[in-house]
Amino acid sequence: MENNFEIKNKKVGVGFGVFLKKGNKILLGKRHIDPKKADSELHGEGTWTMPGGKLEYGETFEEGAAREVFEETGITLKKVKVICINNDKNEYAHFVTIGLFSEDFRGEPKVMEPDEITEWRWFDLNNLLSPLYFPSAKIVENYNKGEFYFK
């Protein structure tokens, strides 16, 4: 059990996942199996994830989503909207994850950061691969239930 000093010195981060939908398919990337390369404080190495990342100082959620999607996939978002907020935490980190959604984008996914994401693929929403990165899974669950936030 952590002492109070350790808990008080931990910070909550803000990140986002971007649900890109084309027809009935969603774009997911395979995180590198090496935890140092998978680049996530929540870990998730070897899982399938949505494009996303951490919010940078001064950005709107939409600006951050557009930046991360372009950096990771080469896709340009035309329109994107916030669809949910989740409280994601495990033994490694704690993040407020903003889920964003877009069906209006330009380009096809390319592996732009091969040390982090080894491939991008479109998956049928009814047949998602496992394991799914847990913050991404929660965004899909929110979307399917039409809920903005659930515990």
Model pLDDT for residues 40-98, shown as the tens digit of each residue: 676 778 899 999 999 999 999 999 999 999 999 999 999 999 999 999 988 888 889 99
Sequence-distant (6+) residues with CB within 8 A of 71 are: 53, 112, 113
Instruction: Please provide residue 18's backbone torsions phi and psi, each rounded to the nearest 5 degrees.
Output: -115, 115
Compute the CA torsion angle 49, 147, 70, 130 (nearest 10 deg): 10
List the structure tokens of 42.
Answer: 């929540």
Distances in whole angstroms, Cα of residue 58 to Cα of each of 2, 55, 122: 33, 9, 31
Q: Which CB contacts under 8 angstroms, 24+ apart, belong to 41-46?
A: 41/13, 41/92, 41/93, 41/95, 42/88, 42/89, 42/90, 42/92, 42/93, 42/95, 42/134, 42/135, 43/90, 43/92, 44/133, 44/134, 44/135, 46/131
Average of pLDDT values for 104-127?
95
Q: What is the mean pLDDT of residues 101-125?
A: 95
Write down the pLDDT at residue 53.
Answer: 93
pLDDT of the residue at 38: 57
Hey, how many other C-beta atoms are within 10 angstroms of the C-beta on 89?
13
Q: Tell me the pLDDT tens digit for each residue of 4-47.
A: 545 556 788 999 999 999 999 999 999 988 766 655 676 778 89
CA terminus-to-terminus distance, the chain:
23
